Structure 1
Amino acid sequence: MAPEPSKAEEQDVVADSNASAPEQMRRAREAAGLTLEEVAARTRVPMRHLAALEAGDYNALPGTTYCAGFSRAFARAVGLDEAALVAKVRAEIDEMGGLGQDPYEIEEPVDPSSVPPRYLAWVAAVLVLLFAGGYAIWRMQLNTPPTDEQLAAEERTETRIADPVAPPRAAVGVAPRGPVVLTAVNEVWLRVYEPDGQRLFEGMLAKDERYTVPDNARNPMILTGRPDALAVTVSGRAVPPLGTAERTISDVPISAAALLSRQAGQDNEDAAPAPPAPGSPLNAGAGPAPRAGGH
């Protein structure tokens, strides 16, 4: 087994600012005695992206933001200056003419699965056609006069007066408690942090991997590009998703109180009775109040 390099030797190896960013990353990794697999395990960045980054194959990565984010994670894992390495990578990409701009400028490791494959364009086209067909059928039904049987059924339905639905009572004197557990239904990158910027967790979660928010966290919030890839539970009870795949979310509260309050608001909206239609018998049968003492 080769002897480990001394600190002075490591500094000589990685301090050459004239070396390219990929060369600096490779030297620093070798000086730290790490393999690409070990760096991937530390950063939770897929090894194929790290290999492309260390080889200087920026075109194999999804975009400039991804290159910068992966470089920052690589530098942190091997002890390089994060800001200097990211600046070097961006400069080299600019010299190549750029790789295009991502829709969200987040200089951190982002979820590689959020890059949409080409077949999604075909799926979107099919969905648009289905939506257009459904809309046409709906318009056709609106313009078709109802049959006598439909009118009779509607009259029977309108004469029934439903009992008002009582809104659910909120628990009195019971403080919402956790634990809050985030479970990855797909591979996803996320950051959990407090309002003052203190990071509680940052990295990739593999499918079915879980992260439990600390009980002593102060108003924890989340940032992720794939909120739909996370299942959230409070004390084992599932709560509504944090968002959809269409947009990145940030500064979204994920304390037990915030999540349960959010679910209660949605439940109240679902349980609220619809007001009677203007032409319903409830409104049509109500006449003006009689005058007292009039002739």
Structure 2
Amino acid sequence: MSIGNSPEDDRPSVEDDRPTVGRALQQARIDAGLTVDEVSSTTRVRIPIVHAIEQDDFTRCGGDVYARGHIRTLARAVGLDSTALVERYDAEHGGRPEPTPAAPLFEAERIRPEPRRPNWTAAMVAAIVVVVAFVGFTVFSGNDKSSGKSVARDVPPAKPSAGPSEKKPSQPKPEPSDSAIAAVPADKVTVKLTAENGSSWISAKDHSGRLMHEGVLKQGASKTFTDEQRIDLVLGNAGAIKLYVNGKQIDDRGEQGQVQRLSYTKGDPQAG
């Protein structure tokens, strides 16, 4: 015995002879007459995890939180005290982590000032209000200044509108005369077609048979053709066409709906 030591300090330490968590669960299951499959079906803990826990292998549980949950579930299934087994698990695996006090965190969040963001909506509303106020002030100021002044001098006097009796009659279109004949080239044949009484299909060819025009001449439209020797015409609705050849009007051109084939040369109009 050494000096200064009590008799209890000289006693050999007694090792903890309690079974491990996994061995305790396994022994309790066997004592209860249950198989691993039956425990797995009852607790919904998969068979490989039950085997691993009974071998004190908790790596397949996915963490301490899930390991404690499986231990409680299996302990209740085999009739053991789940609280005692969880405490033994914590003692064997470092214990539960100390909870982080919430107060200091909340204090830090309270002390830390949040950056203030500019309120763009309020700024836009304020700008719109200023613009509207400025426009309104300008309008009302302009009305006040112009209210005492006569604006008649700035507006030219309106001209009296001509009444129905003062309207000049439209000048009638002059009919082709001998002067029109003088304007037509004497060395060429000139044919003018005007759809006066309706539309008509027309065709015009020169002396060589080249097609100069073919199509519908709508009412009110005109076409003029010129050739050095001869122009051949086909009028689908001859009565609708007003015809001038070399500056002279041709009266005998056909009736409404009648198809006419006409040919004209230089000089006085002559039907071919």
When normalised by structure 2's length, the TM-score is 0.29
When normalised by structure 1's length, the TM-score is 0.26
Larger strand share, 1 or 2: 2
Give the structure, 1 or 2, with the largest relative contact order (CA under 8 Å, sep 6 or more). 1
Q: Which has the larger radius of gyration?
A: 2
